[in-house]
A = this chain, B = another copy of it.
Amino acid sequence: MQSAPAIQKLLDELERLPGIGPKSAQRVAYHILNSDRDDAIRLAQAIEEVKDTVRFCSQCFNYAEGELCEICASVRRDASVICVVSEPRDIPPIERTGVFSGVYHVLGGALSPMEGIGPDELKIKELMSRLVDDSVQEVVIATNPNVEGETTATYLARLIKPLGILVTRPASGLPVGGDLEFADEITLGRAMEARREL
């Protein structure tokens, strides 16, 4: 009513974003209205570009712009250690700790009988097929330290250990019940370094 239709449309779209309520949406909308046209267009184009160019890495299922993600494609990464995470968003916090030089595998979730997510809904088959050649020495299972994450870790440990591969999990120290995504770098770095065998 009080806003021009184009402004109302922008407000509606902004309010659909996570963590953005009506007041944040309004602040952001007025910021966009007040900013240089070039700045606003760069944001719009960044959104479109990310949807046009980003897909899943064919090896680890992280986000990737090519066939492989930057980590899988890098010759500097130690392919003999695979860190298993639930979601792509769990990778940046581990990368920021600087203590992990291996590669990743993104499950796309965690086991949850309550939500009907069983092994077939996750990229577990794809993980197992990465383990058939002898080059993998260790699998670090960095699923979230909550019920689903622990269940998933236990399930994977039982599958992988018989292959003679070391299976580890970041040390506790992560706040139990919390999300790995929001852990601070030092806590998470120490937890990664002190990871223990399952």
Interface of A toward B, CB cutoff 8 Å? 1-7, 9-10, 12-14, 16-20, 23-24, 26-33, 37, 39-51, 53-54, 63-65, 69-71, 87-89, 91-92, 95-96, 181-182
Distance A43 CA – B54 CA, assembled complex (angstroms): 17
Interchain nearest-CB distance for A91 vs B (Å) = 6
Residue in contact with A50 in the complex, picked from B33, B46, B53, B65, CB distance below 8 Å: B33
Query: Do A46 and B95 touch across chains, with their CB atoms under 8 A apart?
Result: no
Interchain nearest-CB distance for A48 vs B (Å) = 5
Distance A32 CA – B51 CA, assembled complex (angstroms): 8
Closest chain B residue, CB of each to CB of A23: B182
| 18 A-B residue pairs with CB within 8 Å | A2-B70, A2-B91, A2-B95, A4-B69, A4-B70, A6-B49, A6-B53, A9-B46, A10-B47, A17-B32, A18-B28, A18-B31, A32-B47, A32-B50, A32-B51, A40-B47, A40-B50, A47-B47
Closest chain B residue, CB of each to CB of A64: B4
Interchain nearest-CB distance for A62 vs B (Å) = 9
Query: Do A88 and B30 touch across chains, with their CB atoms under 8 A apart?
Result: yes
Residue in contact with A89 in the complex, picked from B26, B41, B51, B53, CB distance below 8 Å: B26
Query: Do B63 and A33 touch across chains, with their CB atoms under 8 A apart?
Result: yes
Closest chain B residue, CB of each to CB of A74: B1
> Which residues of B have CB within 8 Å of A24?
19
Max count, chain B CB within 10 A of own CB: residue among A23, A32, A48, A70: A48
Interchain nearest-CB distance for A164 vs B (Å) = 30
Interchain nearest-CB distance for A180 vs B (Å) = 13
Closest chain B residue, CB of each to CB of A87: B30
